Structure 1
Amino acid sequence: MIRFLLFGFVFTAVMGALNLYAYRRFLRRLHFGTPGAWRAAALFLFIVEVFFVFQTLTHLLPDSPLLYYLLSSSVGVTFILFFVALVYDLMHTAAERIPFQPERRRFIKIGFDLTMIIAAVSYLLDGLIGGLRRPMLRFEQIALGETDAEPFRIVQLSDMHIGLDIRREFVESCVTRTNALRPDMVVITGDLVDRKIEHVAAELEPLKALQSRFGTFFITGNHEYFHGVEAIVAHLRDALGITVLDNESVKIAERFNLVGVNDLISKRMGVMPYDVEAAFAECDPALKTIVLSHQPKSTRVMQHKAYDLMLSGHTHGGQIFPFGLLVMIDQPYLAGRYRVDADKQIYVSRGTGYWGPPLRVLAPSEISVIDIV
């Protein structure tokens, strides 16, 4: 509980600081409107974000997808305003050093202010449209050095964050599109849910209809640990027939070791801790090895292990540009395929859903279609 309260306090403080900066360095300096009106707008935005944090931590407000959508959108608006304010501030400061005549300076400022307002609105609308757009199909061909092997299709679903404003209809759509791809195997690489299992069981029901030759496999993400990971895992395994890889491996068609490792946050949470040694213990060294691990920085704790491909998520590809630059401070890989070293590759999904603000800018959601060739 203390950890969640600390998160709420820090998150609220950060939102307050971003709104204050946006007001002081952008909104109140605009030629249009009045400082009082812009101050009220920034304060209203911050109050909505306080309600967002309150609902995220307590779920005491009405359980309405529309309400959550509106509350969480405020966070995205603040991120966008902050970035626009930063650009405005830098350009405004630079322009002040140029010796223009007062009338010409006023004319240029009006044009510049209008341009920045249009840019901010366009940025926001693009993000909202991107958030509502259904996940793209992202096709990736990956060679693992096999000879004379048949192509093997893996469909990866990641970071769906079901239970807040992402509900059953979204899950049904993803299942239908996944089945149409005729996968050999489906993997769900964490952050599937964002509520306790009793609140999302009905939303998850369509996952029973996932079809593939070798089944559906799941590993935990950090968000499962926030909402009762053991109960979530038990429901997926017992009610939905999904294979949960709890620090363990299975053989797929005598061709791959499929290794699943619990999320890195697990040791801090004190339940279902990740165990790399146990996860790799039963691997057949004669087979190629594919690892499922939610966070890309898992490569650091597995650098001593032999594997060929890791499938991860967690980053959302940054979700709202340029937030990905901050994500890369914590995670070494943001989105797409990378070489870890000469023998290892990693593919990082941008996520099938989203968390928090229902916006995506230059980081479209995806259903990852990985063909091992």
Structure 2
Amino acid sequence: MTRTEEPVRARRRGAFLGVVWTALVLLFGVPWWTLIVAGPEWPVPVVVAGTVLLAAAALGLPWLMMRGHGRRGSDLAARVGDTLLGVVWVLFTWSVLGLLARVGLALLGVADPARSRITAVGVVAAVAVLVVWGYAEAMRVPRVRAVEVWLPRLGAGLDGTKVVVLADTHFGPIDRARWSAGVADAVNDLDADIVCHAGDIADGSVARRQAQAAPLGTVRARLAQGCVTGNHEYFGEAQAWLDHLTGLGWVSLHNRHVVLSRGGDRLVLAGVDDATARRSGVDGHGADLAAALAGADPDLPVLLVAHQPRQVAAAADAGVDLQVSGHTHGGQIWPFHYLVRVDQPAVRGLSRHGARTQLYTSAGAGFWGPPLRIFAPSEISLLTLRAGAAPRSGG
């Protein structure tokens, strides 16, 4: 490191630590203020116990996250840290709403300490219910979300083609091998023509997550099963995961395409690396749509698999007919979807971009980090491709 680089790195570390500590103060400080200190007038033992509990959690969370998600991460630390992060996010959100509820109660003439105690008990009850429900939602096999997508350039022989989009399985610290088998069974029950895995296969090495990913080897489709990398593959073994899925019978759409045919008509199934691939430093990786479509007949419709919805800008410029993506998790824990919307052009569902291109954003099958899904249900996406323009709605 040169002398000129040292101050820059020091400033970056300082800024990062500043952001982390600010986030910790807000995440734990707002619940402490809302539930314990401001207004309820709890007995001293309650105030002391609540303060100690929140302080210990605030100090323990950074250590758990570093211990769990470092280079030699501990799955146990990751499970505890991720769960704690999810619970405190829900607690923070509903503590903010609790402050608003206090204003409403004050307008109704309810005085303290009753007003603050009612709010505190309500917040804790709501958080408890949401965490239990959110965990159940995260751990269940996703429901199927069926959508018809009309493609004017699709040949009549391909009308009715069933495309299943699987995204964000995120095999990780929680052993979800049984869940994975259930997902594979649910996909196979749909009797798809094409199955796409839109990335974020796993968090961790192939060796550590191989058992959870094994059921992907049972997935079958009439025409093809194609996969691409997500941003989380570039935290570890991107090429190894593509190679592993290839060994399980999937087609690696690593900046390439295959041509599929049915009923005398053809469709280009293409894929690109994740948007973060180029700066990851992994040799030979980087989203390259031109390479993915090289040699493809420009008159054929194109189904593109790209992990992040924001990659649709390049797809629209290239005249891609349909891009399927994941990445957003539908927000995963409300109201996080508002932040996702700042970074991505869509959070979930079907949207149009440019003159020709449509984008389907899957809310994803799994979860990352906190094992919670709150007001952001997981999904296995079933897209039925229809030839021609979408019919006009009546009325």
Rounded to whole Å, the distance in 1 between the matches of 2:201 and 2:19 is 22
Counterparts in 2 of 1:104 and 1:220: CA distance versus 1, 3 Å: closer
Matches within 5 A, 1:1-373: 12-13=20-21, 14-29=23-38, 31=40, 32=42, 34-50=46-62, 51-61=64-74, 63=75, 68-92=78-102, 98=107, 100=109, 104-145=111-152, 146=154, 148-149=156-157, 150-237=159-246, 239-253=247-261, 254-271=265-282, 272-373=285-386
The residue type paired with residue 244 of structure 1 is: S
Rounded to whole Å, the distance in 1 between the matches of 2:171 and 2:155 is 40
- Does the 8 Å contact 1:319/1:362 carry over to 2? yes
> What percentage of aligned pairs have identical amino acids?
28
Rounded to whole Å, the distance in 2 between the matches of 1:336 and 1:27 is 41
The residue type paired with residue 269 of structure 1 is: S
- Say which is worse superposed, 123-132 or 312-321, in terms of deviation: 123-132
Shift of 1:154: 0.9
Q: Unaligned 5+ residue runs, structure 2?
A: 1-8, 387-395
Rounded to whole Å, the distance in 1 between the matches of 2:112 and 2:226 is 62
Shift of 1:12: 4.7
Q: Give the superposed CA RMSD.
A: 2.5
- TM-score, normalised via structure 2 length: 0.84
Rounded to whole Å, the distance in 1 between the matches of 2:26 and 2:116 is 26
Q: Secondary structure at the match of 2:345?
A: coil
Shift of 1:232: 1.9
Shift of 1:16: 4.6
Rounded to whole Å, the distance in 1 between the matches of 2:343 and 2:146 is 26
Shift of 1:332: 1.2
Shift of 1:86: 1.4
- Does the 8 Å contact 1:8/1:53 carry over to 2? no
Aligned length: 363
Counterparts in 2 of 1:15 and 1:104: CA distance versus 1, 3 Å: closer
Q: Deviations over 1:291-349 (max 9, x none)?
A: 11000011123331111111000000000011100111111100111122342111111
Counterparts in 2 of 1:314 and 1:128: CA distance versus 1, 3 Å: same
Rounded to whole Å, the distance in 2 between the matches of 1:140 and 1:176 is 20
Rounded to whole Å, the distance in 2 between the matches of 1:106 and 1:21 is 18
Counterparts in 2 of 1:106 and 1:36: CA distance versus 1, 3 Å: closer
Q: Secondary structure at the match of 1:360?
A: coil
